[in-house]
Amino acid sequence: MNCTGCGAALPEGAAFCSQCGAPVGAGGAARMRRGGNGKNHDVPEEPLWSGAYAPMAMVGHFVGASVLTLVGVFLAAMSGRPVGWYLVGGGAALLFAYLTLLVLYRRYSIHYRLTTQRLLRDEGIISKRSDHLLVVNIDDVTVRQNIFDRLFNLGTIELHTKDKTTPDLKMLGIENPRGVADMIDEVRRIERNRRGLYTMDA
């Protein structure tokens, strides 16, 4: 027996695909209506969290740019040539302008929403793209923080998934990243149990 959604081979009698989480035949649809707990009703999808890129996550980049500018000023002063000051001034202006545009783009173009069943990412300003990732397809959740992230309780959440279109997803500049990661992990565990996808890491 094969999954009609992703084509993965399934054992006989399976109600859900172990690869993509799709219901298999009438049995899977019935279990979706029961919600995995024997009650004959649909389980509503409820919003749990929403977030976007936090501008403070760029503090490290601006500190690095400031240090680089100071080094340029020192070198220009040592050279004693006017052209050196023009190069430093122009380079610093371009660098800070780039960082400012980058933080504005990340802040206003990417938004995340977590529900009891899916993680949704909306990306874009002029043209929009939406990715819908089933939480049951998430295999691993990792949080990464540098020294500046720890100061402001920010970080990057990395997700490794079974989803073919989004096998890896990095959520940059997330506030309270460990709390959000724990929430994603708990929602994944609950949803897998609800669907009957009992795995070692569920």
Mean pLDDT of 173-195: 92
Residue 58 DSSP label: G
Residue-wise burial string across 48-84, b where 16 or more C-beta atoms lie within 10 A, e elsewhere: bbebbbbebbbbebeeebeeebeebeeebeeeeeeeb
What is the rounded (10 degree) CA torsion for 20, 24, 28, 29?
100
Which residues are 156's β-sheet partners?
144
* Whether the predicted pLDDT of 194 surpasses 50: yes
- pLDDT for the residue numbered 39: 44
Q: Average pLDDT of the chain?
A: 84
7, pLDDT greater than 80? no
**How many CB atoms are closer than 10 A to CB 17?**
24
Considering the four listed CATH numbers 2.40.50, 3.30.450, 2.30.29, 3.10.450, the one that applies to the domain covering 48-53+111-192 is 2.30.29
Region 72-93: mean pLDDT is 91
Burial level of 155, CB count in 10 A (0-12/13-18/19+)?
A: buried
137 burial via Cβ count (<10 Å: 0-12, 13-18, 19+): buried
Q: Is the pLDDT of residue 67 over 60?
A: yes
Domain locations along the chain: 1-35, 48-53+111-192, 57-106
Task: Please give the model's pTM, rounded to 2 decimal places.
Answer: 0.72
Of residues 86 and 13, the one with the higher pLDDT is: 86
Mean pLDDT of 160-169: 91
